[in-house]
């Protein structure tokens, strides 16, 4: 199956598999016509840590250049909870996150997306623990890799479902490493958390600018939602086939404010991941080229 050729000037793509080694990811990105990819640098639901050497890193960079991928984003392990009050989990999570940063530095991956943790006991104390552990990891791995705190749907004791809470978390990170912290906004999570991208699109992003600053948005996860508005449920759906519908995605793709922001699909893959990702990327690019029915 030939891979589609993309002349897309903006970084747009999907989360792709690294099965067979991290060096296999760029070719998978090229196969779906991506100009940006997101990867895991380790198995996300296991604590076991991989070993990467200079040969692995060099091959990864060569494959990136060959595939024409502009931007790579990594996502940290699902097991990590940097806000946990449990000492054992805290130590394990901090070590694992530090290694996530180290692999990104080794592979020249500029961004590491991270879900703020679950505070479990007290919200304010949890924010403090989270900030302290991010700072510890950033100091342990000097360099240019940035941590992107991701917006969350707000279920249970998860931190990061409001712009104000994300701002508080960033502000609690010491100044010497705070410049290496920015944000990733997930459209499904925003809608589930109560940010109405369907009916108040401009107001949501105006509020983002007011609280977090436009320049702090480095990545967008483009996901529709299976669940209704303000549900607090993180359930991704195909673009324009969920409760968000086509409107917010059409506006994102046509809005100059987001032109340089890396956009990553995390939508369901179905039985044929390549075909599904291609289909979703074609849909997004069509939104950019064509106005909405009725001229909107």
Domain ranges of the chain: 12-289
Say which residue the tokens 């793709």 belong to.
253
Q: How far, in Å, are 1, 11, 14, 33, 254 from residue 279 at the CA level?
A: 15, 17, 11, 10, 18
pTM, whole model, 2 decimals? 0.95
Helix (H, G, I), strand (E, B) or coil at 182: strand
In angstroms, the CA 214 to CA 277 distance is 28
Q: What is the largest CA-CA distance in the chain?
A: 57
pLDDT in tens, the chain (296 residues): 455 555 567 999 999 999 999 999 999 999 999 999 999 999 999 999 998 889 999 999 999 999 999 999 999 999 999 999 999 999 999 999 999 999 999 999 999 999 999 999 999 999 999 999 999 999 999 999 999 999 999 999 999 999 999 999 999 999 999 999 999 999 999 999 999 999 999 999 999 999 999 999 999 999 999 999 999 999 999 999 999 999 999 999 999 999 999 999 999 999 999 999 999 999 999 999 876 655 44
pLDDT on residue 296 = 44
Q: What angle do CA 50, 55, 59 make, to 5 degrees?
A: 100
- Note the Cα 118 to chain centre separation in Å: 18
**Cα–Cα distance for residue pair 42/51, rounded to 1 Å:** 9
Q: CATH fold of 12-289, please?
A: TIM Barrel (3.20.20)
| Pair 14, 239: CB distance under 8 Å | no
């Amino acid at each position: 199956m030939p891979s589609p050729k993309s002349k897309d000037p903006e970084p747009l793509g999907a989360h792709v598999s690294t099965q067979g080694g991290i060096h296999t990811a760029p070719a998978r990105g090229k196969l779906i016509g991506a100009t940006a990819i997101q990867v895991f640098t380790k198995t996300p639901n296991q604590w076991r840590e991989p070993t990467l050497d200079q040969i692995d890193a060099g091959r990864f960079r060569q494959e990136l250049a060959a595939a024409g991928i502009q931007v790579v984003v990594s996502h940290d392990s699902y097991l990590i909870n940097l806000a946990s009050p449990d000492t054992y989990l805290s130590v394990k999570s901090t070590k694992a996150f530090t290694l996530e940063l180290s692999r990104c530095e080794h592979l020249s991956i500029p961004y590491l997306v991270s879900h703020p943790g679950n505070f479990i006991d007290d919200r304010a104390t949890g924010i403090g623990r989270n900030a302290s552990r991010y700072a510890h990891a950033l100091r342990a791995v000097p360099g240019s890799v940035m941590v992107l705190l991701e917006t969350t749907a707000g279920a249970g004791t998860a931190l990061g479902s409001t712009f104000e809470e994300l701002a508080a978390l960033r502000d609690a990170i010491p100044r010497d490493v705070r410049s290496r912290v920015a944000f990733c906004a997930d459209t499904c999570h925003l809608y589930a958390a109560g940010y109405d991208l369907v009916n108040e699109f401009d107001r949501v992003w105006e509020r983002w600018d007011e609280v977090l600053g436009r320049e702090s948005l480095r990545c967008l996860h483009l996901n529709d939602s299976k669940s209704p508005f303000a549900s607090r449920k993180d359930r991704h759906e195909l673009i324009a086939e969920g409760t968000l519908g086509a409107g917010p995605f059409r506006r994102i793709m046509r809005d100059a404010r987001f032109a340089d922001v890396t956009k990553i699909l995390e939508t369901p893959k179905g039985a044929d991941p390549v075909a599904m990702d291609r289909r979703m990327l074609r849909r997004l690019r069509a939104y950019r080229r064509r106005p909405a029915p009725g001229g909107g």
